[in-house]
Amino acid sequence: MAIDDTARESNIKDSIKRFLVDNIYSTSGIAISFDKGLTVPKVQGTVDSVKKWVSVRWGVLQISTVAEYSLQLYLCSKQDKEGFKLAQLRDTVMGYLTDSTQNDGGRRVILYKSNVTPWTELGSFIIYIDGESGGVELDDKTKCKIIDITLRWGCKG
């Protein structure tokens, strides 16, 4: 017996990737990587190395009537003596994760069935911000902070 499309991890990850790439990378021009640690992404066509980026780390998937997926967004900046680039990056990313027009402040993200062409809509996630870390500086002078988020959605799994 096949699992419901709303419980398929591939649909969930593809939908989140699409949302983050469409907004953080395509709209704002900020490099993004998935499960690559804090390594500076290599962006084709750039002469200089990337100065700010977001690295996504997948967390725990819990399937139930209200399913949850936790993930962490590592915000990173280089050549940022006072952390101003990191603060700007944080503000940009938070703008995509929140929605002040919603009563709960959570951004809605479309959940797609991604193994068909074209992708079809199944429903949507709500993004909940669980917290964010203070800034840290790594040995190579990269500044980082982490935003912990949880996605929740109705699931037939």
Average pLDDT over the chain reads 90
CATH code for the part of the protein at 5-28+50-154: 3.30.2000.40
Q: What's the average model confidence in pLDDT over 40-46?
A: 56
Where do we find the tokens 């995509």? 96
Beta-carbon contacts of residue 142 (< 8 Å; ≥ 6 apart) = 38, 40, 76, 77, 78
Query: Closest Cα to residue 121, out of 48, 14, 34, 23?
Result: 14
| Structure confidence by residue, pLDDT tens digits, 111-124 | 999 999 999 999 99
Is residue 47 very low, low, confident or very high in pLDDT (cuts 50, 70, 90)? Answer: very low
| Structure confidence by residue, pLDDT tens digits, 64-103 | 999 999 999 999 999 998 999 999 999 999 999 999 999 9
The helix (run of H) or strand (run of E) holding residue 9 is helix 9-20
Domain ranges of the chain: 5-28+50-154
Q: Could you give the CA distance from residue 96 to residue 112 in angstroms, rounded to a whole number?
A: 18
Q: Record the pTM.
A: 0.88
